[in-house]
Amino acid sequence: MSKNSVLDRFSLQGKVILLTGGAGLYGRGLAADLAGAGATLIIASRNQANCQAVADEENARGGNATAIAYDQGSEASILALRDAVLERFGRVDGVVNNSVARPMGGDVPFVESWEASMRINATGLVLMHQHFGEAMKQQGAGSIVNIGSIYGMVGPHLEFYKGTPMPDPRPDYYFHKAGMVNVTRFYAGLYGAAGVRVNCLSPGGFQAGQPEAFLERYNEQTYLGRMGDEKDLGGAVIFLLSEAARYITGVNLPVDGGFTAK
């Protein structure tokens, strides 16, 4: 490949990328794709053991991955994560905000579970932008990619759940995923002049063993006739982190098989 090839702009070789929630539904596939694109990858979540297992797997494949524990519900933990990344690697070129908590439901009181969700998914998300964005501003470059959801763009399809054992959706997820879209725009505006880009991806549903009735109803709502899987999100994330997207900021990109276009 020529050194001037357009494909070189999609490479993450030499870039220090932080992926939060790197062992979950979206995160495991993203970790593999980011490592495969050449990133120096930091995988972070509350579960150090799970992150370490993912890092070990990617390193065994020839990647360069490190696991660090953090709690997005704690500003002190977010600051400690930032400082650990900068101390070890000297910079942070990209952050993929993929961590999410789903505390609502079950026997937990509504207000208590709502406030727990907001602390992690709203306040914590803003603090990730504030603290890592300031570090990128000092560098004069960086890219933040937020992993949102189509349910930050549309209302609930309650009919998908009828006759299945799946619980009805909870309001916190819709609230913070919709907020993520405009927080993306806010920080794109705040940090743009410093060369820091901020974008959002809004995935559609991902296969996770849902009941057949749910899958049939969901799939009918998409143009491509299926849910996403672990191979469907990484390409868009890599693009937005890379130099190929150097003039793109403040965007919300649905990755949903046409769900929101229908």
- Phi then psi dihedrals of residue 63, to 5 deg: -80, -175
- Given the residues 70, 173, 187, 218, select the one marked as catalytic: 173
Strand partners, 96: 19, 145
Where would I find the beta strands (DSSP E) of the chain?
Answer: 16-20, 40-45, 64-69, 94-97, 142-147, 196-203, 252-255
Structure tokens at 125: 């998300």
- Residue 74, exposed/middle/buried by CB under 10 A (0-12, 13-18, 19+)? middle
- Residue 201, exposed/middle/buried by CB under 10 A (0-12, 13-18, 19+)? buried
Concerning whether 173 is annotated as a catalytic residue, the answer is yes
Place of tokens 């009735």: 213
Q: Residues with catalytic annotation?
A: 173
